[in-house]
């Protein structure tokens, strides 16, 4: 049986269509999702050797790009003038799809693969699946890359060589070695987790802009919370 749609129905449909046209260009902008910093003085980093004495920090920033990709930016800084960086290992998911990786200096890229503790990774609390930036120089190293995969809480490890009687120079985030549940991986507003881990690319792939829009319209504020404007 044919039922004639009311004017009210068409008005609602027009309003929804207009909202789609307004929101889709907005989703094309790169928005800051989260940023943070872990330090040895603040207890977020565990360090050894002169890195422990002189202090160190790891900062990160994660932004969404046109609702179809993420930008990950990191900086590792060692205090003082001794113990330049040798390599950095960053945790990632097995299908992180890292691309467009750039850095502040020369590096050799290994992985993604599993890097074991011990050996060339002294003091590392456990194995880590991810990427390794090797043959580094300097006291500060920045790098960034893009990924289709959204963020989760994860780990980072960095090292230099032996610091004489002080032992090896290395650092890692204070939460490394304490497994997270699947739910905890995505508790981005959890203050305790913010002080122990950094954000790294997960297995989650961002849907196309239209799908994001439908999620926002259907989930209300729950969908909106996925984006934070700068």
DSSP letter string, 203-215? EEEPPPHHHHHHH
pLDDT at res. 204: 52
Tell me: the pLDDT tens digits for 85-128? 999 999 999 888 899 999 999 999 999 999 999 899 999 999 99
The span from the CA of 117 to the CA of 115, in Å, is 7
The answer to whether the beta carbons of residues 64 and 227 sit under 8 Å apart is: yes
Write down the CATH number for the domain with range 31-205.
Answer: 2.60.40
Query: Does 202 have pLDDT greater than 70?
Result: yes
Residue 44 DSSP symbol: S
pTM: 0.76
pLDDT at res. 30: 67
The span from the CA of 53 to the CA of 56, in Å, is 9
Tell me: the pLDDT tens digits for 17-67? 343 434 444 334 568 999 999 999 999 999 999 999 999 999 999 999 977
pLDDT at res. 192: 97
Question: Roughly what angle, to the nearest 10 degrees, separates helices 209-219 and 7-27?
Answer: 120
Token output for 210: 């239209």
% of the chain beyond a pLDDT of 90: 66
CB atoms within 10 A of CB 58: 23
């Amino acid at each position: 049986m044919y039922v004639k749609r009311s004017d009210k129905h068409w008005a609602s449909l027009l309003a929804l269509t207009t909202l789609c046209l307004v929101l889709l260009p907005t989703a094309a902008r790169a928005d800051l999702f989260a940023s943070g910093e872990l330090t040895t003085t603040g207890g977020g980093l565990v360090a050894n050797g002169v890195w422990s004495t002189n202090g160190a920090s790891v900062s990160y920033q994660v932004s969404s790009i046109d609702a179809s990709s993420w930008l990950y930016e990191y900086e590792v800084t060692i205090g003082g003038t001794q113990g330049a960086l040798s390599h950095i290992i960053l945790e990632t998911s097995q299908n992180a799809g890292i691309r467009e990786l750039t850095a502040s200096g020369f590096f050799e890229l290994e992985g993604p693969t599993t890097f074991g503790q011990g050996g060339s990774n002294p003091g590392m609390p456990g194995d880590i699946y991810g990427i390794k930036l090797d043959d580094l120089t300097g006291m500060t190293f920045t790098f960034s890359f893009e990924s289709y995969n959204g963020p989760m809480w994860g780990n980072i490890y960095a090292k230099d060589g032996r610091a004489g009687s002080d032992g090896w120079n290395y650092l890692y985030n204070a939460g490394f070695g304490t497994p997270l549940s699947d739910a905890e991986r995505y508790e981005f507003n959890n203050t305790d987790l913010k002080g122990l881990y950094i954000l790294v690319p997960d297995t989650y792939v961002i849907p196309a802009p239209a799908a994001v829009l439908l999620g926002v319209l259907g989930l209300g504020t729950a969908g909106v919370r996925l984006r934070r404007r700068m």
